[in-house]
Amino acid sequence: MPGFDVTHPNIKDRVIAKSHLAFSFLTHMPIVPGHTLICPIRCVDTCEELTIEEWKEVLDLKYLVCKALKNAFNSEGFNFAWNIGENAGKTVPHFHLHVVPRKLGDTGILQYEPRVFLYRPGSRAISPSEELRQTAELIRCSL
């Protein structure tokens, strides 16, 4: 399976911020609105393969994204995670840091069911991809 490509049509509309060596974008299966991934532009499988410069830019984007998520969603806290290895749940061979904005009463990690969140039953005015595009725009405006 290939890594994340910032120019790919399925990703570019979900990009929040980009630096010289890293970028952030909304995941297509969010735990809560604003669930963002941050990864280096260069495709590496694990964090141990990152250069110091790439690590710095990933962490700089983490700071920027968290500030924007606080502004956009009134986030009161965050979960950060990365998965190393298939047994840990990793499905894409491109290192990425999950940033999950949290606030009182959200769905929580233990009650998370991505299909229920992404494909809510009943009539919807917008498609999941349009919802993600609009969420990305909201966060970009909060940078």
- Which residues belong to the active site? 96
| Helix/strand number for the chain, H first, E second | 4, 5
75-97 burial by CB neighbour count: b if 16+ within 10 A, else e?
Answer: beebeeebeeeeeeebeeebbbb
Token pair for residue 88? 């840990």
Helix (H, G, I), strand (E, B) or coil at 101: strand
